[in-house]
Amino acid sequence: MNLLTHIGRSVLIAGAVVSLLSGCGGGSSHSADSATGSGNPLNGFWQAVGYGKIAWIDNTHITFYDYTQASCLVNERLDDVDEEDFERFFDLGSDGILALIEDGTPTFHAPSLRFQPIAGLPELCKTPSVQAGEAGYQQDWFSDYEIFWQTFSDYYLSFELKGVDWYSVRQQALTNLQDSMTQAAFLDVLYQSVQPLKDGHIAITSSDGQEVSFENKPSFISTLVQEAITQYNIAQPLSDADIETINTYVGEQLELSAEIITSYAESEVKSAANGNINWFKQGNIGYLEISGMQDFAAGDEFPASELAAIEQAMQTVLSDMSDTAGLIVDIRSNVGGNDYASMKLFSYFIQNEQLMFSKQARLGASKTALKEVRVLPANVTYHQPIVLLTSNTTASAAEVFTVGMRALPNVTLIGESTQGEFSDALEKRLPSGIVFTLSNEFYYTPEGEWLEHQGVAVDIEVPYLDRAQRQAEEDLGIETAYALLTGQL
């Protein structure tokens, strides 16, 4: 997600003109050398240490810069941002820190990007890199790679955790770079550099929008893909027919998996929140699937709308589950989304204020200040025994939900350990127009554990709908959870 996706959408909806520019020119009338206007109390220069971000606010204009020790370029510019948007997305604390509320609403949000005031732009940002589409731009793959490598060097959370020598990676990449290479060939050099990190929050998107990302552990989808390749003896490179065969197989298996799960229903199967929340009863045990941590409000990504959709759905769910003796909460297919959604969902399962998680960013050889995330219970909550089903696919914001739930005394984890991808994805760009993301944050459980790369372990291990289960048309995860909640295990 772009840093100011929601601000940009808000301005567009209001009918104002938004310029998402990639350079310091582009038709804007203000410049870094001019005096900053005095009409907006937030006017000035702000730096988010640990994130390589600088915000320059000049009345209704906001320019965001990405910087490293050796580079600076404009990531995004927004024009005609009105007072309502500033109030909705920024919070100036009594400590003089400016928080960007991009993950929630002013009254309910996850820890925000925090900007400290600085006197002016660093020297490198006064003449930022010329980018594709601007006058004077010249393609330079060596320069692009150095920015890419330095960004990871400055901000990636831990090469030691991943067992990767980042300096050796650079040396290998330089032997493969050529001035005349195509973008596709250059992208392959980037892929080869970060693939050993096995980090699902690393993604690389070409200038034409093609994205490649990575996995720490094989997800359910990648497992199905490998099954198809093995079953149909498919070899590289993949033809169009091979891809169609794989997609057909994966689609059939996903449909079969859904049918197996709903076969346990002894009541109507209900759905809400744009299909992200689904539930039924099996006897006196409830089943609740949360399939994602975003897109709860169809066609509206604003956090307030997302939170409202969650609240409406969960009040209905808990009303239906009021007579159950236990609840199975299934997040095995949940690859994450927004932390504020996880926090909101978590609020329906607690009785008192709870520490859900804490986080901080890498800051050179140290870290930024630790931010604790505490959640208050919702108006209606569920207190009966709960089994939380997780899998290797469970990732990101779904793992944040997992560590909060795991700390509750009435919750047991069954399934597979989670993916191990906690950090938010920090977005950066290169002069050529290539966009990439990386992990720069440390997330901690309520007990203070750091589970990045490792994932959250379960209490009882059960494979997630492996091939044998699908062939037998059974879900051992649901069956084990049901047995535990009914006293048969």
> Using an 8 Å Cβ cutoff, are 319 and 327 in contact?
no
Q: Which amino acid is at 402?
A: T
What does the radius of gyration of the chain's CA atoms come to, in whole angstroms? 24
Q: What is the pLDDT of residues 368-403, one digit of tens each?
A: 999 999 999 999 999 999 999 999 999 999 999 999
Q: Which residues contact 127 (CB under 8 A, 6 or more apart)?
A: 24
* Closest-CA residue to 286 (of 487, 480, 488, 478): 478
**Mean pLDDT across the chain, nearest whole number?**
92
Domains and CATH numbers, the chain: 5-126 (no CATH), 141-213 (no CATH), 261-423+442-485 (3.90.226.10)
Q: What is the pLDDT of residues 274-312, one digit of tens each?
A: 999 999 999 999 999 999 999 999 887 789 999 999 999
**Predicted pLDDT at 22:** 27
Using a cut of 0.85, tell me whether the model's pTM lies above it: yes
In which band, very low, low, confident or very high, does the pLDDT at 39 lie, cut at 50, 70 and 90? confident
**Predicted pLDDT at 299:** 83
Q: Is the pLDDT of residue 180 over 90?
A: yes
**Predicted pLDDT at 242:** 96
**Predicted pLDDT at 301:** 75
Q: Which residues contact 14 (CB under 8 A, 6 or more apart)?
A: 82
Cα–Cα distance measured from residue 259 to residue 248, given in angstroms and rounded to the nearest whole number: 17
Q: Is the pLDDT of residue 1 over 70?
A: no
Q: Is the pLDDT of residue 455 over 70?
A: yes
